[in-house]
Structure 1
Amino acid sequence: MSKFAAELLNADIVREIDATGRQAVGRPSIDLALNPGTFLMIGAHITIGRVEIVLTDSLMTIFESDHFEFDLEIKVDDLIANLAGKIDALIAKSGFQRSRFRGVGLTVPGAVDDDGRVNLFSVFSQWSNIAFADLLEEQLNLPVTLEHNAAAIALAESRFGAGRDKERVLYVYMGGGIGAGITYSRERSNSLRRCRQVELGHIVVNPHGAHCRCGKDGCLETLFSEGPLLKSLGCPSVPEEGLIKALMQTDIWLARYEHFLQILATSSILLLPDMIVLGGHFGTAPDAFFKKLERDLTPRVTVPQHRAQLSVVRTSYLDEAGAVGAACAGLEQFIYGDPLLAHGRSRQGRESRGG
């Protein structure tokens, strides 16, 4: 056994697994597997008036979760203090030593700087240039990385979900808006950030259409997101059968669907995903929706080899998707990423290097 493997075993980072039945010439080999309970992660997702929190092991198994509501007029410092208190209480409830938690992945519905520290802007809250990562680190004394919510869920789908054997995964979410993110395999990415937000919902489909909260007119979101679709249905809340299924039974469906289909096709040509994963209200859509979308999308993809491999699937994460994505961003940053780069992306790491 190598010295390095012995050190990993002694630190309880890996464990030996049964290799019964394997025959080999020479010195017997020892099979090792990651011990998922050695390093733990915290994921927290801040969305419109609600925060979701999960505690996971290093293979993304959730063992504790919580959430709380907040007023949109709350001061950011108060929100962070509430979040830190909830995280402290959840760690205590878990029974694990605090030292087992390697950090916090935090996600927000808005643009994030390349260092994973600052929420540059959010159309939901009008937040701008909020250093969420620094603020939460000060409260918790744990390293924090910040990521766009849909980009982080794309990462979770790519690493642990439906797209774990794919090189490029595009995740699209329908809720109060249309969010999207794309993730690349380690082999395809030359930077620490392997996921990026995609402003798919703010592509203009009708320049003379309704005014969008982003400031433009006629964005996809103004026609194909929860609010405008419920208004078209004449429903105050999401129907019991799900938003997509209810819409598919109406006359307005085909026109709205066509807008979404065209934007998805254009995005596929530009981004070349191997798989498109649909979440939010798409996640509860009937199988017929996915079959039709894949059938209609394929002829619009112009690259033959891409057309042959592209698939459209349902999300693996219907519940707590934002917090799950946040945890995955933390795992990627503080456990599976390059240790030197990961250290530099936390405030403590930058300060230790004089950055």
Structure 2
Amino acid sequence: MWTLQYLKKLSVGLTLAMLAGCAVTQSQVVPKKVLHLVDEDFGRDYFIYLPTSYGKKPLPLVITCHGTNPWDSARMQINEWKHLAERYQFVVIAPGVSSARGVIPPSPSAGIAILKKDEEFILKITEGFLNNPNIDQRAIMITSWSAGGFPMYFTGLRHPEIFRVVAARQANFVREYYTPDIPRFDPYQPILIFYGENDLPILKADSKVAYDFLSKAGQKNLFLMSMKVGHTRHPEVALKFFGDAIRMYPRPTIIWAKLLPGGQCRIRFDSCLVDPPDDGKIYWDFGDGDSGVGRVVDHTYKSPGKYALAVMHAYRDKTIRFVGRIEVRAGSFSVISGEEK
């Protein structure tokens, strides 16, 4: 059951939304057509914009979740983003979602069931690009506007192995939707929560609740940002954060591994930093007494075991860290994000 206080805030917010409107004001001039597709399994629409350099080099990928109908839709989201996608050369996908219900969000039990269906749909269309050589797998962001925050947080936080960055734009949040999944969160996933100082009261409040919830959940690269704007569309804020995050915040992955005689394992690690600053340095601590320097490094573990794995990106007067674990077994290996508890 929603509280009377919540419903009062919601009533004020809806009134202001109707007065302010949610028009797409971004330029619609792009050289290519938007692709409008329908997934037969889900019976849902989704829209894709492929910029002019698609097919020539790997490009970043942005998934953007729309807000409450009729104030927003998947079509409006693609129209909001397509000019930026062409200007900065990245692929953008806008899926149709069912959980974007900012008017009266479903109860936690009903809401989670709807969110899981949205998650399945978002993952299906995203995974179609995961083995695509035209997509930079190090640079995938999920973002949202308004009530699209519900599926964005749910899918993005539960799948940090896919979504490098999460960026909430003036987004709704209900903590009960996400509490059961805290153990799945990656504490080093960069997350932006952006709201307008003249925004709808409920969205300002929800943004602060989301920040408090994620802070207490242990998220280390979490940012709360506001601007003197109302409930208007600002995709450029999320895009700037995306670009900064993939340049600055390491997310180590394994490129390849080779098992050697005697239980040894040689691994090539990638920090997954995209075009990091020239004057920065990337340091590795492999947890076995050895260290390395570089965006991509090779290391041989002499014996099976669990090792702390730390990556530090030192840039000017700051150091950005990732601390995780790697488990090397006799016949396999795995990287586990997060610090030892």
Give the helix-richer structure, 1 or 2.
1
Quick check: TM above 0.5? no
Normalising by the residue count of structure 1, what TM-score does the alignment of the two structures yield?
0.31
- State the structure with bigger RCO (CA 8 A, min sep 6), 1 or 2: 1
